[in-house]
Amino acid sequence: MTIAQLFNIANLYVLPFWALMIFLPNWKITRRVMESYIPFVPLALAYIYLFVSSITPENAQALSNPQLADIAKFFADETAAATGWIHFLVMDLFVGRHIYLQGQKTGIWTIHSLALCLFAGPMGLLSHILTYWIAKKFFPNSQNEATTVAEKTVSST
């Protein structure tokens, strides 16, 4: 399998998880899948493979004492760029999972934050933090009611 094929597969691999969290957040299967760490295992294995493949003595030295020019040179290599991209995919999905699970627990609306996280992880996280803060500050009773509903739903499944 080529680096380009692995890159393309990883990009496609994450999409069903995002689709489940965004479009079917209350589906029992979505909850079961996203409560698991299994979605991250194939991505982590691909990352490890690419990381090990991309390390040369020069790259190891550049990464041990990072300078912007050295990092830019490192990512000019196709394998290193794919490694970095899969790192983004894993971490963005992990943050998205956190947002999803917190939304399920508290009843806070997460669709906008998940969509942002899919395309720009840190912006989605900030969106969720702000949404959580606003909901907690200005709508504290609705959060308690949603938590009770979520707990009843989880305990009945």
What does the pLDDT average to over 133-150? 72
For residue 128, give the nearest of 145, 107, 114, 143 by alpha carbon.
Answer: 114
What does the pLDDT average to over 30-34? 97
Which pTM does this prediction carry? Answer: 0.85
Round to whole Å and give the CA distance between 117 and 52. Answer: 27
Instruction: Evaluate whether 10 touches 43 at the Cβ level (below 8 Å).
Output: yes
CB-count exposure of residue 124 (10 Å: 0-12, 13-18, 19+)? buried
- Strands in 15-141 per DSSP E: none
Range of the domain at 9: 3-156
What does the pLDDT average to over 94-114? 96
Q: How many helices (H) and strands (E) does the chain have?
A: 9, 0
CA distance between the termini of the chain: 41
Residue 90 has pLDDT above 90, yes or no: yes
Counting the structural domains of the chain, the total is 1
pLDDT digits (tens, 9 = 90+) for 17-26: 999 999 999 9
Percent of the chain residues past pLDDT 90, beyond the cut: 72
